[in-house]
Structure 1
Amino acid sequence: MADSAMEAAAARIGIPFIREAFADRGYRADGKLLARHEPGAVLGSHVEVVEQVLQLVLHQQVVTCEKKIIPLTAQSLCIHGDHSTALASLQAIQQAFEQHQIKKKAFSIC
């Protein structure tokens, strides 16, 4: 996850780290994820997911559960496959990427 202890540990020992953000999860004002049992922890529709993804990709920011806009830079997006809206979210993200001419690329850290 972006801005995590894992990222700091990777930097300390000089190994590459890919910053990840969550397309379908709610964030707090401190940049941490809401716990799964909290209201808003999982975004309820593919429309919300696409809005969050576009904020992350185009503006390097996210709107928190408190309705604050905070910076969040990520190189990778996670979408949980166990949500009922996962497929619709992925399809909507693909359409949004095409509309905004956002290119996807694979990572190579070797």
Structure 2
Amino acid sequence: MNIDLNSDLGESFGAWRMGDDAAMLAIVSSANVACGFHAGDPAGILATLRSAAAHGVSVGAHVAYPDLAGFGRRNMDLASADLQASVIYQIGALQGLAAAAGTRVRYVKPHGALYNFIAHDARQAADVIAAVKAVDASLGLVVLAGSALAGWAREAGLRTVEEAFADRGYRADGSLVPRNQPGAVLHDPDAIAERMLQLAREGTVTAVDGSVVRVHAQSICVHGDSPGAVAMAQRLRERLTAEGIAIRAFMDLA
């Protein structure tokens, strides 16, 4: 059995430090690197990319709404031309920095509000899909497992990777618990490791109401900005590998 571990990295901005990229890159197999629209500055992004290259970690463009002040977590009703151009711009910027760091962008993962909105909004989803294809149709697209976007992306011919969230609570319908509600963010490394072992073995997670939800995922995300993120990711990797589940970048898998 194989599964990918990914984390959102490159999100520090100037003197504002976010997460521990160096430590996370020794644990994960894929890095979703900020592109400057929700977080990240050029020098910090480049340093993260160089570290990813040194660790052999697969790199993805973590594209977002233009929302530095809100960390990309506020919904925006962008016109299609604006949204497509912004996604193309972000991927292109990261491609340039990645080339300088000795690596390359292999996939795209939307961030925050954009990620959640296009999971069910056909118009903005089509804009993001069109932008990815305009840059490089061989890029993968990471989406919420079970979302409408997963089907739309496949129909458009993109390599689609469905992901689960190690440190986020699930509702009975398979959606994530909103961040402003109890149970949205999880912190116990052992509990997180056990629930993701359940996901890897059985394809299910236990929702906040106690029900069992089927989640088909090829990748597991641990948010790099969560308190104790490194400890969570390390415990998760240890638990999975102890059970014979190999950690491999999804872009390396057939």
Is this a same-fold pair by TM over 0.5?
A: yes
- Equivalent-residue separation in structure 2 for 1:108 and 1:81 (angstroms): 20
**Partner residue in 2 for 1:3:** 146
**Partner residue in 1 for 2:202:** 59
Structure 1 residues 21-30 or 89-98, which shifts more? 89-98
Contact 2:165 2:220 in 1 (8 A): yes
- Equivalent-residue separation in structure 1 for 2:221 and 2:169 (angstroms): 13
- Pick one of 146, 166, 169 that aligns with 1:26: 169
- Describe the superposition over 1:73-107 as per-residue Cα deviations: whole angstroms up to 9, x where unpaired: 10011101111121111111121022101111123
Q: Comparing both structures, which one devotes a greater share of its residues to helix?
A: 2
**Structure 1 counterpart of 2:212, one-letter code:** I
* Stretches (4+) displaced over 4 A: none
- Equivalent-residue separation in structure 2 for 1:106 and 1:27 (angstroms): 24
- Equivalent-residue separation in structure 2 for 1:106 and 1:85 (angstroms): 23
**What pairs with 1:67-106 in structure 2 (closer than 5 Å)?**
67-106=210-249
Q: Report the secondary structure of 2:247's partner residue.
A: coil
Q: Percent identity among equivalent residues? A: 39
- Describe the superposition over 1:41-82 as per-residue Cα deviations: whole angstroms up to 9, x where unpaired: 001211221122111111100000000011111001110111
Q: Comparing both structures, which one devotes a greater share of its residues to strand?
A: 2
**Partner residue in 2 for 1:42:** 185
- Equivalent-residue separation in structure 2 for 1:27 and 1:20 (angstroms): 13
Cα RMSD for the two superposed structures: 1.3
- Equivalent-residue separation in structure 2 for 1:100 and 1:108 (angstroms): 22
**Structure 2 counterpart of 1:86, one-letter code:** A
TM-score norm. by structure 1 comes to: 0.92
Higher RCO by CA contacts (8 Å cutoff, separation 6 or greater): 1
**Structure 1 counterpart of 2:213, one-letter code:** I
Structure 1 residues 40-49 or 26-35, which shifts more? 40-49
**Structure 2 counterpart of 1:11, one-letter code:** R
